[in-house]
Chain A
């Protein structure tokens, strides 16, 4: 199974900050990497698919990059509604489909 590891596990930042979250795969997954946002008590929401493609309706301050084993999710200017938990997920070698452990983004 492909293991996904996110860093950091938690992060404190302020409105307006630029934030980067990293996701590493245990082997190459090419560009088969997806990012989700989850707010407390809510279902996850797809943000980025295929490493860098922005899902329809997602603000352009969100961007994704990377290939192979290392990927990043960047929020260019944090907004109050962006404080949430973020998960990466690989869709290359399945089953099983695997997620990272999550990165909790908190208000500083």
Chain B
């Protein structure tokens, strides 16, 4: 069974930093593109960033470029999101999600999701 478990959320002051983690199990993590999607309270879904199987390609939504960094450790089946210069508008539940295309491909949609971790940016 595919499982994705996020951690690392919490309360942080504006301008602060936080590192989110997502631990994967039940599949060969290194074969899949992985993604972070966020959802502000009471709002819709927003794609944040994704990363290729080997970490050689990374893409970001414009509002987080230069502030967030996505990375992965395939040996530890883990995905990360380093967030810095946090703003109130970054407050959201952050989900990690898997692209279903395993291998040298990508689909850019998501067949498995974690339960999410809440990041609150407030003084």
Report which A residues bind B (CB closer than 8 A).
Answer: 32, 34, 36, 38, 42-46, 49, 55, 87, 89, 91, 94-102
Contacts and interface: CB of A to CB of B under 8 A. Distances in A.
Contacts of A89: 45, 109
B95 to A, nearest CB: 6
B59 A91 contact: no
A90 B44 CA distance: 14
B111 interface: yes
A42 B35 CA distance: 17
Given A95-B59, A95-B60, A44 B109 contact: no
The DSSP consensus for interface residues of chain A is loop
B109 A46 contact: yes
Nearest to A94: B108
B27 to A, nearest CB: 14
A49 B99 CA distance: 12
B46 interface: yes
Contacts of B111: 46, 49, 55
Given A91-B107, A95-B47, 5 more contacts: A49-B100, A87-B44, A87-B45, A97-B35, A99-B44
Interface residues of B, number: 22
Contacts of A95: 47, 50, 59-61
A89 B108 CA distance: 9
Contact of A96 (B45, B47, B107, B109): B47
Nearest to A45: B113
13 contacts: A38-B45, A49-B100, A49-B109, A49-B111, A55-B111, A94-B59, A95-B60, A96-B62, A97-B108, A97-B109, A99-B44, A99-B45, A99-B47
The 10 closest A-B pairs by CB, nearest first: A91-B108, A43-B113, A95-B59, A97-B47, A34-B109, A99-B45, A102-B44, A91-B109, A94-B108, A101-B44
A32 to B, nearest CB: 8
